Amino acid sequence: MELNKYIEHTNLKAYAKEEDIIKLCSEAIKYNFQSVVVNPHYVQLAKECLKDSNILVTTVVGFPLGANTIETKVYETIDAIEKGADEIDMVINIGALKDKDYEYVKKEITDVFYSADGKCVKVIIETCYLTDDEIKEAVKICNECFVNYVKTSTGYGTRGASLEDIDIINSVKSDILEVKASGGIKDYDTAVAFIEKGVTRIGTSNGVEIMEGEK
Q: If pLDDT is split at 50, 70 and 90, which confidence band does 215 have?
A: low
> What's the chain's length in residues?
215
Q: In the predicted model, what is the mean pLDDT of residues 4-16?
A: 98
Q: In the predicted model, what is the mean pLDDT of residues 191-206?
A: 98
Which has more confidence, 213 or 74? 74
Active site residues: 89, 151, 180
Contact 153, 161 (CB under 8 A): yes
pTM for this structure?
0.97
The mean pLDDT value of the chain amounts to 97
Q: How far is CA 71 from the centre of its chain?
A: 20
Per cent of the chain over pLDDT 90 is 98
Q: Which domains does the chain have, with CATH numbers?
A: 3-214 (3.20.20.70)
CA angle 6, 213, 16 (to 5 degrees): 65
For helices 102-115 and 132-145, angle between their N-to-C axes, nearest 10 degrees: 40
Cα 47 to Cα 42, 57, 86, 175, 203: the distances in Å are 8, 6, 9, 31, 18
